[in-house]
Amino acid sequence: MKILGIETSCDETGVCIIEGQKSENDTTLTVLGNQLYSQVALHEQYGGVFPMMAKREHAKNLVPLLKKCLEEADLIVERKLYRVDSTNINKSSVDSLDITKNILEREPELFVELVKLLETIEKPKIDYITVTNGPGLEPALWVGVTFAKALSQAWNIPLIPTNHMEGHILASMLKPINNMSSQIESTKSSLIPSAIYNLHIVNYPALALLISGGHTQLVLIKDKLDYKIIGGTRDDAVGEAYDKVARMLGLPYPGGPQISKYADAWKERNVPVQTFKFPRPMIHSHDLDFSFSGLKTSVLYTLKEIPEITEEIKQEIAYEFQNAVIDVLVSKTRTAIFDNNIQTLIVGGGVIANKEIRKALSILATEMKIDFQIPEISTSTDNALMIALAGYLNIEAGKKPTTDFKAFGNLSL
């Protein structure tokens, strides 16, 4: 089964085509094409992501990325007879393609590019399309969902929506088969190294800790694809706290990788004396909720007291802030594992790209003698591979295709 995944929930535009093959005791996933365009450089200038700007960038990039992805997957068959000049696209060719009016009205440029593509290539051999319909920035989600619906309609390929957070959870199931990837690379140079994956077998009940720019959640997974949120943040998400603290320190967006770099630099110095001490919010509360805004405010007040903020001070603050975050994450996760007889700890979300957080959670799983599943760094931050995978597993499990869904910024698991 070949499935096309589309991701536009925040500031990464992702398009990916995978082929899944299920055997008696294994599932093999081959990544046929995987394209990701990061808008970070654009948003960096403004210190954060503006939803309408993100939407415009997705609209500009979706068609070129889809085309590249189809090329990479060797799924392009040109329709020479029907080729049209894009400047000639008129109302009648629009009607004949019967593409959703939404794109026509709200994204005319995307519409023109899409029509150009649709009129120049044959329907590709893809069995399903899946698209992130939430959670995320609503305008950004909207453009991906509308685009996916248009493709589904024009090519008559069934469509299913995918929850972005489920994508982050399932990304941890990808187990690269490295010895086979070299074979693929020799024939298709553009494929990423881990192009073929098996899926990890998960022992249930499992617990997922999801930490991203928009979410901090503990999710109980009693069985395959069965999710229940048992803990969450009352204010800022972990990634958001990283980004805000980075801004206070004058570091560029996205702040997570910057804080991480500064914290590493301080650790390497091995300074025995600690100047700053930040709170570990809610670490002793008897629930599974988080709060990071107090920690962020504490950093702010500390900075106000310092007349000159040197690079060393930035490093030490980043280090202590990160330690506070890690202490809280580890403590709450430990409680959730203990209370729910968890067999597997899964972690996901962009913040999981942080190597100290990865290490601390891996140590926790070892201590508690449970399995640990974590995505590779490349599939930790937003990407379309995890969306295609989630779509594939849901279809395998019997989820029915539908076009009756909308982009929903607050979509829950």
Where along the sequence are the contacts to ligand KG4 (CB under 6 A)? 10, 212-214, 239, 242-243, 254-257, 260, 349-351, 353-354, 381-382
Residues listed for the chain: 413
Cβ at position 381, least distance to ligand KG4 in Å: 4
Cβ at position 383, least distance to ligand KG4 in Å: 8
Question: To 5 degrees, how large is the angle CA 401–CA 407–CA 409?
Answer: 130
The footprint of Zn ion on this chain (CB under 5 A) covers a number of residues equal to 2
Q: Is 130 in the site for Zn ion (CB under 5 A)?
A: no
Q: For residue 95, how far is the Cα from the chain centroid? A: 35
Within 212-251, the residues that bind Zn ion by CB under 5 A are 212
162 binds, among Zn ion, ligand KG4, none (CB under 5 to 8 A by kind): none
Cβ at position 238, least distance to ligand KG4 in Å: 7
Q: Kindly indicate which of the ranges 20-28, 57-65, 110-118, 204-212 contains the residues binding Zn ion, using the contact rule CB under 5 A.
A: 204-212
Cβ at position 143, least distance to Zn ion in Å: 17
> What does the block give as tokens for 34?
């995987």
Question: DSSP assignment of 226-247, as one string?
Answer: EEEEEEEBSS--HHHHHHHHHH
Q: Does residue 369 come out as left (phi exceeding 0), alpha (psi in the -120 to 50 range) or beta?
A: left
Nearer to ligand KG4, 124 or 350 (CB): 350
Cβ at position 187, least distance to ligand KG4 in Å: 31
Q: Nearest CA to 17 among 392, 377, 348? A: 392
Nearer to Zn ion, 11 or 382 (CB): 382
Q: Is 72 in the site for Zn ion (CB under 5 A)?
A: no
Nearer to ligand KG4, 70 or 329 (CB): 329
Q: Which residues contact 317 (CB under 8 A, 6 or more apart)?
A: 245, 249, 262, 276, 299, 302, 303
Strand 216-223 vs strand 206-211: parallel, antiparallel, or unpaired? antiparallel
Nearer to Zn ion, 276 or 408 (CB): 408
Within 354-393, the residues that bind Zn ion by CB under 5 A are 382
Q: What is the DSSP letter of 121?
A: B
Q: Is 394 in the site for Zn ion (CB under 5 A)?
A: no
Q: What is the rounded CA–CA span in Å between residue 248 and residue 191?
A: 39
Alpha-carbon distances, residue 310 vs 168, 225, 315, 316 (angstroms): 37, 48, 9, 10
260 binds, among ligand KG4, Zn ion, none (CB under 5 to 8 A by kind): ligand KG4
Nearer to ligand KG4, 151 or 171 (CB): 171
Binding site for Zn ion (CB under 5 A): 212, 382
